Structure formats: structure tokens, C-alpha cells
């Protein structure tokens, strides 16, 4: 978040969606709700950041009150603040009821942004947001944030973070963002974006550990790792352990990209249904 400090002081949120703006004077998505009904304030906050991470700022914009949209002055200003954002993840969410239609939410935020082609900036914030119930649905009305830390990863750390982020996005069903981490040749191996998404229909989590750099150069890196994949099907749950190898390279304008990966199955077991 290049401008995250500025936006956090007004509030921490946003990213992209090509929905019609004709019905919204602020240049965002139409007034009609595009978000799930019945979400709690905490779920609304998580949904907002989920859409920021997945590159759908229009859907994040729709979860703001009209007054809060006014604070950004335009939809363009809102999205610009997240132009370099790779992930925006809230945690430790606490709620305090102010009245029947007002809730204050406190949380920690971890944000990752692309600093340049070889570096990612990782920042943490202590945040609060005021939520208002509008026509029965909770929306974000205002917020504040205080930066707690800022770390610039070196090039090798950034490559590893991209690989970790890819699998975290798979776990969270943030497939647009996961797809953006792949090289063009690797994307073609899946056939299409929809085929890529369909490959993770039953995925519950995809987590890598024990990462080791086994080959590197100025603009390339090969990482070996252990992948633990959990899936839930109508018939059974399955946990699979793989030994994997991923090859990453720097692509000008995109940064570190995964241009190939291979996973070899080591073990599989079927735990009780979750």
C-alpha cells in the first residue's frame, strides 16, 4: 500500500472490479448490493479485505457507506491507494456495540505491497472501524489506523513471500490474486482461469513449509518445500503431503513470478469428516 499510511488515517481499505458505475455518483459499483446478506460486522470487515486482496475493489467499495465514499472523494482515489497491494489481512477482531445500528470493530491488519520488482513491503497496523447498519446490512462508515511496523523484504525473501502468498490465496479462495502470481507459460498449462479455479473446488487449505533455496541467480530462484493440502469432498476428507519445487523469476513490471512448479506426492491419509 504505497499510500496506505494516508488511507489508514482516513481508513484502511479497497481494489478492482469492472461493474457499471452508472448508478453511483462516486464512480463505483451500482447501489444494488453485491455482497452476501446477513454478515456480522466482523464478517463484513473480513469480506472487505478479502476483496482487496483478491483484486476486486469495486466489491469492497460497495461495502462502504455513502459518507465514507465521500471521504475518498472518488472511486479512483480509493483504488489508487491499493494499486500495489498484494494482500490485506485483518486478525484479532473485537467488536463493541455502540447502539442497535452502530458497532465499533478493533483489529490488527497485516498488509503486503510491492515496493519494486524485487521487494515487498510488509506493514502491520492497529486499526478500528465504525460500522453502521444500512437497510439491514452492516457497512463500514469510518476508521482509523496506527502503523506498528514496516519491513522491506530483500529480493530472496520477497520471492519466498510470493510463493507463500500464492498458497495462502488458494486457501482463502482468492483465485484472481493467486493467478496473478503465475507466469504466462505456467498459466497456459492450466488451460484457462476457470479451469485453474475448478482445480481447487474441494480445497480446504494449501500450506507450504520447510522452504529451502536450492538454486538462484540475479533474477531467478528455485525453492524446494513441503506442501500440505487438505481437501473435503462429499465422500471423505483427504490430507496429502507433497515435496515440491517451484521456479520463480523476476518479470519487469510484475516482480517475482512463479513460472513453474512441480509437486510429488509423499503421503495421503483420510481423517474423520471436518
For the domain that residue 209 is a member of, what is the CATH number? 3.10.450.50
Q: Provide CB contacts within 8 A for 91, sequence distance 6+.
A: 107, 108, 109, 110
Half-sphere exposure in the Cβ direction for 41 (13 Å, CA): 24
Average pLDDT over residues 130-140: 95
Torsion of CA 158, 111, 206, 195, to 10 degrees: -90
pLDDT-based confidence at residue 1 (cuts at 50, 70, 90): low
Rounded Cα distance, 263 and 170, in Å: 15
pLDDT digits (tens, 9 = 90+) for 165-185: 999 999 999 999 999 999 999
Q: Which residue is associated with the grid cell 506426492? A: 265
Please name every residue paired with 83 in a beta bridge, in sequence order, or none if there are none: none
pLDDT-based confidence at residue 142 (cuts at 50, 70, 90): very high
Q: Let me know whether 87 and 189 are in one domain.
A: no
Q: Let me know whether 112 and 209 are in one domain.
A: no
Q: Let me know whether 213 and 263 are in one domain.
A: yes
What's 246's DSSP letter?
E
pLDDT-based confidence at residue 9 (cuts at 50, 70, 90): very low
Q: Let me know whether 146 and 176 are in one domain.
A: no
Bridge-based pairing state of the strands 203-217 and 220-232: antiparallel
Final residue in a domain of this structure, among 104, 124, 152: 152
Q: Let me know whether 218 and 176 are in one domain.
A: yes
Burial 183-221 (b: 16+ CB within 10 A, else e): beebeeeeeeeeebbeebeeeeebebeebeeeeeeeeeb
Q: Let me know whether 220 and 185 are in one domain.
A: yes
Domain membership of residue 125 (yes or no) is yes
Domain membership of residue 160 (yes or no) is no
Q: Let me know whether 196 and 142 are in one domain.
A: no
Half-sphere exposure in the Cβ direction for 36 (13 Å, CA): 12
Rounded Cα distance, 34 and 40, in Å: 16
pTM, to two decimals: 0.85
Amino acid at each position: 500500500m504505497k499510500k496506505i499510511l494516508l488511507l489508514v488515517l482516513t481508513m484502511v481499505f479497497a481494489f478492482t472490479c469492472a461493474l457499471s458505475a452508472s448508478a453511483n455518483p462516486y464512480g463505483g459499483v451500482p447501489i444494488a448490493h453485491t455482497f452476501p446478506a446477513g454478515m456480522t460486522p466482523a464478517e463484513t470487515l473480513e469480506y472487505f479485505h478479502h476483496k482487496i486482496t483478491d483484486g476486486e475493489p469495486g466489491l469492497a467499495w460497495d461495502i462502504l457507506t455513502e459518507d465514507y465514499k465521500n471521504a475518498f472523494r472518488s472511486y479512483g482515489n480509493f483504488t489508487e491507494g491499493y494499486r500495489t497491494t498484494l494482500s490485506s489481512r485483518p486478525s484479532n477482531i473485537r467488536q463493541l456495540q455502540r447502539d442497535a445500528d452502530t458497532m465499533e470493530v478493533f483489529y490488527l491488519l497485516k498488509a503486503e505491497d510491492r515496493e519494486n520488482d524485487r521487494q515487498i513491503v510488509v506493514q502491520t497496523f492497529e486499526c478500528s472501524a465504525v460500522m453502521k447498519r444500512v437497510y439491514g446490512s452492516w457497512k463500514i462508515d469510518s476508521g482509523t489506523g496506527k502503523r506498528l511496523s514496516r519491513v522491506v523484504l530483500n529480493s530472496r525473501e520477497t520471492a519466498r513471500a510470493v510463493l507463500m502468498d500464492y498458497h495462502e490465496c488458494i486457501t482463502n479462495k482468492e483465485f484472481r490474486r493467486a493467478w496473478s502470481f503465475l507466469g504466462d507459460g505456467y498459466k497456459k498449462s492450466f488451460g484457462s482461469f476457470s479451469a485453474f479455479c475448478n482445480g481447487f473446488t474441494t480445497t480446504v487449505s494449501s500450506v507450504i513449509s520447510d522452504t529451502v533455496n536450492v538454486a538462484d541467480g540475479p533474477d531467478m530462484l528455485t525453492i524446494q518445500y513441503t506442501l500440505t493440502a487438505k481437501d473435503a469432498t462429499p465422500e471423505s476428507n483427504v490430507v496429502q503431503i507433497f515435496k515440491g519445487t517451484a521456479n520463480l523469476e523476476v518479470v519487469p513490471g510484475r516482480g517475482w513470478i512463479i513460472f513453474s512448479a512441480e509437486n510429488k506426492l509423499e503421503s495421503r491419509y483420510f481423517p474423520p469428516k471436518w
